[in-house]
Amino acid sequence: MAELLYRSEVTGIGELVPSFVAEGILVFFGESAPEELHEFCIMHKVEHQAGILDVGDVIQIDEHHLEVLAIGSVANENLMNLGHMNIKADGNLVADMPGDVCVAIGELPPVAVGSKIQIIRK
Amino acid sequence: MGEYKAVRIEKGYGGWGGPLVVLPTDERPLIYCVTGGGIHPLAQHIADLTGGEVFDGFKSSAPFDKIAVAVIDCGGTARIGVYPMKKCLTVDIHATSPAGPLAMFITEELFVSGVKPANVIPID
C-alpha cells in the first residue's frame, strides 16, 4: 500500500519562479521563509509530514507524478526544517548540489496557488 | 554604540569564493541567520568574534541594508543567490558553488562557502 510521507498546499508563487522553471527547477519554501525569499519560491503550507524522502519515492503535483532519482545530503533536513525543497529536472542519479531532489529530464508540471503537493512511497 | 571587530572568512574544504572581511557597524549590525533550526553555531561564532547582533531570519525579517553578513545553509539553488543579488556578504555553511538562475550574482567578493568556525579568523 502506498504511504503518504508529505502533503502540502501551494499558497503563493513568487514573481521569479518562472526563471527557475526555465532552468528545470522548482523551489519550495514553507510559510516561515523570510520575506526576501518569497519572490524566488513557491510557498506552501505543510499539512502532513512523516518520515524521510528517499530515492524511488514519488512527488505528486496535482495529477502529475515525478519519481525521485537522487537526493542531496541536506535535502531532507531542508524539507523537514524549512519546508524547503529544490526539485531539479536534471535526470541526475547523483545530486550535483546538497539541496537537490533530482527527477527525470522533462517539462515540470504547472504549479499554481491551491496546487496539492504529495510525496508518496509505493 | 557597539564595539565591533573585523574577521576574515575563508572558504572551507570543498568550498568556493571569498575570503570575505566582515565588520559590523552601527548601521549594519546584523549577523543574519537564514538556516533551519534556529541560530546556527557558525552565525553565533561570527557574532561573538565581531560583536555583531545575531538575528534569526526565519523568526522575523530585517532590511538588507542592516545586514553585515548573511549566514545560510543553502543546498545550492535559491538562498545562495538571493543575498549576493542584494549585495549582502553571504556565508554558506555547505560547500556549494555558483549555480542556478542567480549564479551571475554570486561572486568571490560577496560569497564564500563550506565555512566552518575555524575558517573565521579575527583580524587585529
Question: What is the tens place of the pLDDT at every residue in A91-102?
Answer: 999 998 889 999
Residue with cell 572551507: B12
Q: Before B19, cis peptide (omega within 30)? A: yes
Host domain of residue A13: 3-121
pLDDT at position B1: 53
In a mutational test of the A interface, the residue from B67, B79, B85, B86 whose CB has the highest number of chain A CBs within 10 Å is: B79
Question: How far apart (Å, rounded) are the C-alpha atoms in residues B113 and B78?
Answer: 14
Q: Does B28 touch chain A (CB under 8 A)?
A: no
Asked if the interface predicted TM-score (ipTM) of this complex is over 0.95, the answer is no
Cell of A49: 509530514
Question: Which sequence spans correspond to the domains of chain B?
Answer: 7-119
Partner A contacted by B57 (CB < 8 A): yes
* Per-residue pLDDT at B112 exceeds 80: yes
**Tally of structural domains, chain A:** 1
Percent of chain A with pLDDT over 90: 84
HEC assignment per residue over B63-94: CHHHEEEEEECCCCCCHHHHHHHCCCCEEECC
Q: How far apart are CA B31 and CA B21, in angstroms?
A: 13
Task: Report the CATH number at residue A94.
Answer: 2.40.33.40
Facing residue for A37 by CB, picked from B64, B82, B95: B82
Report yes or no: B86 at the A interface, CB cutoff 8 Å: yes
CB atoms within 10 A of CB B95: 17
